[in-house]
Amino acid sequence: MNTPSEQEPAAPQGPSTAPQDGPATEHDPGARQWAMFAHLSALLGALVTTGWAGSVGCFIGPLVIWLAKKDDMPFVDDQGKEALNFNITVAIAFLVLTLFWIGTFGIGLIVAIPGYIIIGLYWLVMTIVASIKANEGVSYRYPICLRLIP
């Protein structure tokens, strides 16, 4: 049995650049709140701009919050870009489905309507999950997302 003086000292832990898996204590409550608002603002944008403009309205809120807070709060910069990238990805998916529907002279509605529903539900659930994670101080990454803004 080793005594405490005989045990090897633990290796020094430097700062990690990898995304956080658990709650991050280094993010102040204000930054966590703004990061949560960056994700939730997409829901507000969807409610305000319904119909075909809804997918465009979804990324206006995250864009405004990201542009306003990116220089002051690094966590909001990270999560604002993530929310913006995800909502642009969803807008592109809706645009592709709409073009498919128009390009097939309405016959594509057989595919487009279920696609709208599936993508819409996925968007809603992932936005809520990302908001909760951001409020906990976790750098959340959406599973399916184009990283257009690095």
Would you say residue 21 has pLDDT above 70? no
- Give the per-residue pLDDT at 43: 87
Q: For residues 137, 142, 148 and 150, what is the CA-based torsion angle, rounded to 10 degrees?
A: 30
Q: What's the pLDDT band for 109 if we cut at 50, 70, 90?
A: confident
Give pLDDT tens digits for 39-88.
999 988 888 776 556 666 788 889 999 999 999 999 999 999 999 999 99
Rounded mean pLDDT of the chain?
82
Would you say residue 122 has pLDDT above 80? yes
Long-range residue pairs from 89-97, CB within 8 A, at least 24 positions apart, any chain: 89/142, 89/144, 89/145, 89/146, 89/148, 90/55, 90/58, 90/119, 90/123, 91/55, 91/56, 91/58, 91/59, 92/146, 93/119, 94/55, 94/119, 95/55
**Domain ranges across the chain:** 29-135
Would you say residue 23 has pLDDT above 70? no
Would you say residue 127 has pLDDT above 60? yes
- 54 or 22, greater pLDDT: 54
112 within 8 A of 97, measured Cβ to Cβ: yes
- Give the per-residue pLDDT at 17: 42
- Give the per-residue pLDDT at 22: 46
Residue partners of 60: CB distance under 8 A and separation at least 6: 41, 45, 49
Residue 21 C-alpha from the chain's centroid: 15
Q: What's the pLDDT band for 15 if we cut at 50, 70, 90?
A: very low
62 within 8 A of 42, measured Cβ to Cβ: yes
Would you say residue 114 has pLDDT above 90? yes
